[in-house]
Amino acid sequence: MKAVCERHGVPLRAAALRFPFGHPAVASVLVGTRSATEVRDAAAMFDHPIPDGLWAELKERALLPVDVPTPGEAG
């Protein structure tokens, strides 16, 4: 997953934060932080652009199930 993310210019942390929002039942995600620096990092990672091609490649490489909803499909 890390290598696929790197090919798309996306930090793995950014993809991990955004992934749950692909499911229509997810309204929010709680991120654990221990410092103001980690809060700023989480906010930056959430704002990082993620191309739909990242999710597609993860599915093509069987790193995600093909039927799992992803943020690019959530509309």
Look at residues 28, 32, 51 and name the one whose alpha carbon lies nearest to residue 41.
Answer: 32
pLDDT value, residue 8: 97
Residue 44 C-beta-side C-alpha neighbours within 13 Å? 9
Contact call for residues 30 and 68 (beta carbons, < 8 A):
no
What is the pLDDT, as a whole number, of residue 23? 92
Rounded to whole angstroms, what are the CA distances from 64 to 47, 50, 55, 60, 69? 22, 16, 8, 8, 10
pLDDT(73) > 80: no
Give the pLDDT score at 72: 75
pTM for the model stands at: 0.87
- pLDDT, tens digit (0-9, with 9 covering 90-100), for 34-68: 999 999 999 999 999 999 999 999 999 999 999 99
Q: Residue 29's pLDDT band (boundaries 50, 70, 90)?
A: very high
